Structure formats: structure tokens, C-alpha cells
Chain A
Amino acid sequence: MTPPGSRAYKGEAAETRRLALLRVWIALTILLGLNYVIWRWWASVNWSAWWISVPLVLAETYSIVDLSLFGMTVWKSRQRGEPPAAPAGLGVDVFITTYNEPVGLVLDTARAARDITYPHRTWILDDGDRAELRAGAATLGVDYLTRGEEWAGKPRHAKAGNLNNALMQTTGEFILVLDADMVPYPHILDRTLGYFAQDERLALVQTPQYFNNVPDDDPLGSQAPLFYGPIQEGKDGWGASFFCGSNAVLRREALMELGILGYVSATEKAVVTGLKDARGILRRAARRAVTPAERAALVATHEAVGDALAAVGNGAPLGEVTFVLGERISELSRLAVAGDLAAIAADLDDLGIEDHGVTAASAAIVGSLATQELSPLNALDAVRATIDAIDVGRSGEAQALLPMATISVTEDMATSMRLHANGWRSVYHNEILVEGLAPEGLAAALTQRLRWAQGTVQVLLRENPLALKGLRPAQRLMYFSTMWSYLAGFATLVYLVAPVLFLTAGVLPVNSYAGPFFWRFLPFMVANQLLFLVASRGLPTWRGQQYTIALFPVWITACVTAAANVWGGRPLSFAVTPKDGTRSERRPLREIRWQIVTAVALVVAVVAGVLRLAVWGAEPVGTLVNIGWVCFDLVAMSVLVGAVRYRGYPGNEEEK
């Protein structure tokens, strides 16, 4: 497939006309959808078989919500015109992130990156720390970075950590991020930097991800024309286009701001938690204290910690609160030392030793014995816990600042959501400026989809866009829309089970005569399919629809593992997507065993349905509808046949 060199943009007037038609169609489709689903809830749930009827109507409701969010997205899917010219003199770093990709592939990308025409500095960020790659970089004349000593024993945070490590060692005002297998065109910066000059609160320009090793029929569904077309453009229209991890230019200042804000909130959280723990420890220790001096010190520290927490609660700055608390603990140390010295002086007086020079009245003597090292309060673990709590060094991390979000295995979406929440803007520039490599085997493709889905669900569970402070309502919905779409696996499961149950066991989840059902369902279904056609401007979207259905076990696995990770702390068993040279020779039937089971069940259901119809004279309309439904599912899932048989991109062999 040749890359679409020219963009689909045909001028503002054409865009406006297209959008007007699209919006009429969106409104119509959503109205028909509501008409259908409301009737389903109101009048056609078969409550006697509620255990399948309710899941089915819930799945249908899910789909209507999904459709409405899609409609809202593409409502504003206007293409941008020519980009503004890039001003001269901007500082740009080009980052190529790699972990285990073949050295030759990384160097091909680095060579193309080096040859980008706009002046810049190219960096290979090698998380694999490979000598061969370091030497290759030197030969090409590009820079090379890997993690340093400070990362030993600390969380590495995968690609986000790799980028954060590089951000701390480079200085360019703008950063072009490229995956190891994403080869840029020379004019990529000329086409993207201009946006930043126009808007100083712009943090991100994302461009499409296009793969040049994918045949026209795209057996693995690698190209995402709908996402990198109308969906990102629509999100762009609502001020919420996403960062997709590669082929994007970012403003360093915006990332650093995220890093600083993140540091502040992480520190605040750590201090408040630490102080709350310390308060409990102090209370218990005071109860058990042996001597009055001990008890007095513990009670006084407990009180000081209580005051500090109250001050944080009242919005006092953390730096001030911790400083005041530190001062009060120092004062308590001096009091304890003064008490000891007074007792010593009294004892010496009693012994008749004159002029002994021991006195609590000398601030110098008291101070010298009440330093952080010598303080008698150090003997009290509870007080030490308090002092540790107000240590603001973030010692659990290799870097105090983590600009790229580390809450998810897909750092990109989490990062852009935080950027938007902090008032930064983004642009989606729909022009192919990079050619990448897609996975060439089904197993690798499935790993990749699983990782994206897991990452997205992680962000949903950790930083729900509906609750994150700072986002505008439309931005919340744009992020939520993508997350919502990854819940599709559960709905698909119901859509697959329901007709099988009907055809084999005669369980009917819909309680209606044929007429009212068709009258409401068919117009909606037709409008829905046409909406995809209109919204996608003729781009191929059928592969995407097929994979949405066929990969239902992947989507369900992603949701379950991400929830177990976020709520239960279980590892995701995260895998880097295999790239070039990892074509699987064996047919990866194991990967799709659930789909095979499902297909067998569907075929059995069709046979059962035909028998019931022909032999026992079952109700014909319901049976035919369900047979049609099952056939649709089978056609959708048939995409996996081509995927399993796929042996990689033939173009590669021709080149070699």
C-alpha cells in the first residue's frame, strides 16, 4: 500500500458542508437509537428469562452510549488546513525510544531522524543498554542515552521512565517522540512546529501512525484509519486530541510543569500520610512511656503533629508546615536537653562540686547537645517516624520529577489527560509524516492490543476523567469515550450468547411481536452503519468493526487484569510488542482458542435453529432473526482466519 501522500483536506467550505451533513445524520442515528433502546427497556424485556434478558438490554444500552459518544466525537471532526510555518531558531530534541528492537531497525530510524531538515539534536534512548547500538549511534553522529546508576533498585517505569530519564539530560524546547520503528519524513518538524509558535499554551501536536508493512486487506487490523482520522479530529475539535506515544511533538515546559505538579502532590500525599501514621504511633508510645520525660516529649510531639495536620487541612503551604513542625521538634529537643542539664547541675550541686560549669541557662550548651544527631528525642522511634514523614526527598523514585505519567503502561494517554487538566492545549495534525512498522503476526498484534486496552483501563481506574480536576466537560467525555469503548468485550459476550441460547434452548430475551421490533430496530441499524460510512469519509472501517467483535476475549482479559492490578496490586505481566523479525511460523491457534470455541457454538446454534424451524416448526421470524444475527457474528469473526494464515508482509521479501 502506498502512503496517501496528499491529505484529504479540500478546503474550509468543503469541510463545513461535510460536517453539516454528518451532524444531521448523527442526530438522526442517536434519536433512532434512543427510540429503540427506550422501547427495549419499557416494553420488550422478557422478565421471565431475566438472567439473559437484562444482560442483553444492558449490552444494547452500552452500545447506544458508545454510539452517542462516537457521535459526539465526530460532531466536531473538522480537518485542519495547512499548518502555520515553523519559525526558525527553535530548539528541538528528537527522541527515539528503544528497549529490545533489532539494532539495524533502530539505526534506520535514527538515520532518518538525523536527516530531518529542521535543525535539531537526535537522541537514541536505549533502555537495553546495548554497546552495539551505542557504537552505531556514534557512527551515525547521533547522541545516545541509557539509564544511569540512580535507577538501580528503583521503579523503572518502562517507556515513560526512559523518556523521563532523557528529559532530565536534554534541553531542547520541543521534543519529537518516535518509537524505534517509526521512520520520520525529513519535513516533519517544518509541518508541526508552527502550531507552537501560534499558541504558547500548546503542549502537543500529534500526527497519525501509519504502517507501511501492511497489505491492502490489512489482515491484522493494524491501521486505525477511523481513530487517526475522524476520531482524533473530533477530539481535536473538542480540545482533547490525545498523545499516542509516538509521532508527536511535545513542549518541554508543559511536561516539566506536569513533573513539578506531580512532585508536589506526591510529596504532599506522602507527608500527610506519614504524619497521620506518626500521630498514631506517638499516641500509642505516649501511653506506654516509662519515664515522665519520655511521656512529656511524646505528648508534646503528638500535639505538634496534630497542629501540623490541621494546618495542612486549612491549606497552609506544605513547606511552611513541615518547617514549623521541624522547629517545634527542635524546641522539644532543647527542652529535653535543658531538663537533663538542670538535673545534672542539681546533682553536682548536691555533691558539693562547685563551679562545675554545667548549666541549662546557656543556650550554646543546650543547642550543642540538641542537634539533630545528639537530640535525646532520637531515642523515641515515634519521634523519628515524624521526622522521616517531613523528609520531602521522594526517595522511593530515581528522579524527583516524573514528567511522563507513570500510572499506566500506556503513559501517553495519561500524560495528555494531565496536560489538558492543567490547561494546556493539543493539536491533531492529520498528515502522515512518519512511516512505521506494524506487528506481522497475530500473537504480536494481540499482545499490542491487550497492552493498549490494559493501559487505557488502568487510567480509567486510577484517574477517572469524569472526576479529574481541571478538565472541561467535553474533554472529560472525549477521554471517557475511548475508555468506554474498551469495555465492549462484555457486551459482545452477551451478543454472542443470547442468540445461541435462543436457537439451541428456545430462551427468548426479547418479548415482542416481529412488527414492532423490526420497525424500531432496522431503521436504527441502517442509520448506524451509514453513520460510520459518512463519518469515515470512505476510509475502510470494516476491519476495525470486525476486530472489535472478534477480540472480545482480549478486551475482557484487559479489563480483568487491569482491575486486579489497580485494586489488587497484581502485576499486568506486561509485554513489549514484538517488532520486526518476530513473525510466528506456527499458527497461533492457542491465542484464539476462545474465539474457536465461540465459532463452534455459533455454528451448532445455526444447525439447531434450522432443525427447530424445519422439524419442530419453531416460530419462524425469531429464529430467522437469530440465524441472521449469528451469521453476522461469524462473518465478523472470520477476520481471524486470514489473520492466523497471515505470514507477514510480502513486500519485505521483494525488497530483500
Chain B
Amino acid sequence: MTQFRTDPVGEDIAVVRPDGRLNMVAAPELRDTVTRAVQSGRPRVVVDLSGVDFMDSSGLGALIASLKTARQAGGDLRLAGVGEQVALVLQLSNVDRILKPYANADDAFRN
């Protein structure tokens, strides 16, 4: 089973770290995790994918749904630590045109 850890950073940033596969079964929990972070007052979310070795279209759908949740709360969602397979799925689905991955979670909201 995929595990999710949420680390608060600064005043309004949350880093969500899934560990395992981000697939149809794990997708609902990713959305719940991000929603909880946003509701707790941290609308700027980094999803650190360095612990994810596999993602499918359902996992990607959960990322975009989470992006929507964050944006609607006035924040944003950014990706970090993207591995080869995840990058491939981002590219195949054209989502790489919208979400540009950052090298690591610390860089994501540096600006």
C-alpha cells in the first residue's frame, strides 16, 4: 500500500510525500491528503514524487484534481522529484506542458 506523509514548511506550505505506487487504488488518498493540507491553512502544496516508482492516468488525475483544490483555495500545487516513469506519463498525457517539475521540494516555492 502506498503511504502518504505530509510535512509543513514555513507558514503556508505543505510537502506531501507519497511512497509507493500512485495508481487507481492510491489516487483517492492523494486527493484526501492534499485537501486536508489545504484546509489546514496550507494552500501551497508540493507533491514530492521521489518516492513514487509508478504512476498511471488515475494517479495523474488525482494530481490535477489536487491542483484544482489548491488553486481554488488561492494556492498552487507543484511537483518535485519526478522519476523517469512519472515524467513519461506527464509527457504522454501532455500535462508536462502545464506542470513543470522541480528538482526537489525545497526549490518548488523558492521564488
B67 x A376 contact (CB < 8 A): no
Which of A357, A374, A378 is within 8 Å of B89, CB to CB?
A: A374
A344 x B23 contact (CB < 8 A): no
Complex Cα distance A531/B93, Å? 86
Answer whether residue A369 sits at the interface, using C-beta atoms and an 8 A cutoff.
yes
Answer whether residue B38 sits at the interface, using C-beta atoms and an 8 A cutoff.
no
Contacts of A337 on B, CB cut-off 8 Å? 56-57
Proximity bits, B90-104, A CB within 8 Å = 1, else 0 = 001111011000000
Answer whether residue B60 sits at the interface, using C-beta atoms and an 8 A cutoff.
yes
Contacts of B44 on A, CB cut-off 8 Å? none
Contacts of A291 on B, CB cut-off 8 Å? 24, 27-28
Contacts of A397 on B, CB cut-off 8 Å? none
Which of B24, B64, B92 is within 8 Å of A376, CB to CB?
A: B24
Complex Cα distance A375/B57, Å? 8
CB nearest to B29 among chain A residues: A290
Complex Cα distance A357/B64, Å? 14
B60 x A379 contact (CB < 8 A): no
Answer whether residue B68 sits at the interface, using C-beta atoms and an 8 A cutoff.
yes
A358 x B94 contact (CB < 8 A): yes
CB nearest to A290 among chain B residues: B28
Contacts of A294 on B, CB cut-off 8 Å? 24-25
B57 x A341 contact (CB < 8 A): yes
Contacts of B61 on A, CB cut-off 8 Å? 340-341, 343-344
Answer whether residue A554 sits at the interface, using C-beta atoms and an 8 A cutoff.
no
Complex Cα distance A357/B91, Å? 11
Proximity bits, B13-50, A CB within 8 Å = 1, else 0 = 00000000101111110000000000000000000000
Known: A351-B68, A376-B56. A357 touches B94 (CB 8 A): yes
Q: In angstroms, how far is the closest chain A Cβ from the Cβ of B4?
A: 15
Q: In angstroms, how far is the closest chain B Cβ from the Cβ of A288?
A: 11
**Main SS class of interface, B:** helix
Which of A350, A357, A358, A375 is within 8 Å of B56, CB to CB?
A: A375
B64 x A348 contact (CB < 8 A): yes
Contacts of A376 on B, CB cut-off 8 Å? 23-24, 56-59
Complex Cα distance A63/B14, Å? 87
| Chain A interfacial residues counted at CB < 8 A | 30
Contacts of A341 on B, CB cut-off 8 Å? 57, 61, 93
A contact set with B: CB distance below 8 Å: 290-291, 293-294, 297, 336-337, 340-341, 343-344, 347-348, 350-351, 353, 356-358, 365, 368-370, 374-380
B26 x A379 contact (CB < 8 A): yes
CB nearest to A381 among chain B residues: B25
B94 x A336 contact (CB < 8 A): no
Contacts of B21 on A, CB cut-off 8 Å? 379
Q: In angstroms, how far is the closest chain B Cβ from the Cβ of A639?
A: 70
Q: In angstroms, how far is the closest chain A Cβ from the Cβ of B13?
A: 20
Given contacts A370-B57, A376-B56, 17 further A-B contacts (CB under 8 A): A291-B28, A293-B58, A294-B24, A294-B25, A336-B58, A337-B56, A340-B60, A341-B61, A344-B65, A344-B93, A358-B95, A365-B94, A369-B89, A369-B92, A376-B23, A376-B59, A379-B21
Contacts of A357 on B, CB cut-off 8 Å? 94, 97
Which of A293, A351, A356 is within 8 Å of B24, CB to CB?
A: A293
Known: A290-B28, A347-B65, A351-B67. A356 touches B94 (CB 8 A): yes
B57 x A374 contact (CB < 8 A): yes
B interface, size bucket? 20 to 34
Complex Cα distance A297/B57, Å? 14
B57 x A369 contact (CB < 8 A): yes
A340 x B58 contact (CB < 8 A): yes
B64 x A365 contact (CB < 8 A): no
CB nearest to A356 among chain B residues: B98
Complex Cα distance A375/B59, Å? 11
B28 x A344 contact (CB < 8 A): no
Complex Cα distance A341/B26, Å? 17
Max chain A CB contacts within 10 Å: which of B21, B56, B92? B56
Contacts of A353 on B, CB cut-off 8 Å? 98
Known: A341-B93, A376-B23. A347 touches B68 (CB 8 A): yes
Complex Cα distance A472/B83, Å? 66
Contacts of B57 on A, CB cut-off 8 Å? 336-337, 340-341, 369-370, 374, 376
* 21 pairs of residues in contact across A and B, judged by CB atoms under 8 Å: A290-B25, A291-B28, A336-B24, A337-B57, A340-B60, A343-B61, A348-B64, A351-B67, A357-B97, A358-B94, A358-B95, A369-B57, A369-B93, A370-B57, A374-B57, A375-B56, A376-B24, A378-B23, A379-B56, A379-B58, A380-B24
A368 x B92 contact (CB < 8 A): yes
Known: A343-B65, A344-B61, A369-B57. A379 touches B24 (CB 8 A): yes
Complex Cα distance A379/B58, Å? 10
A365 x B56 contact (CB < 8 A): no
Closest 5 CB pairs of A and B: A379-B23, A357-B94, A340-B57, A379-B24, A340-B61
Which of B27, B60, B97 is within 8 Å of A356, CB to CB?
A: B97
Contacts of B95 on A, CB cut-off 8 Å? 344, 356, 358
Complex Cα distance A357/B58, Å? 17
CB nearest to A337 among chain B residues: B57
Contacts of B67 on A, CB cut-off 8 Å? 347, 351
Contacts of B26 on A, CB cut-off 8 Å? 379
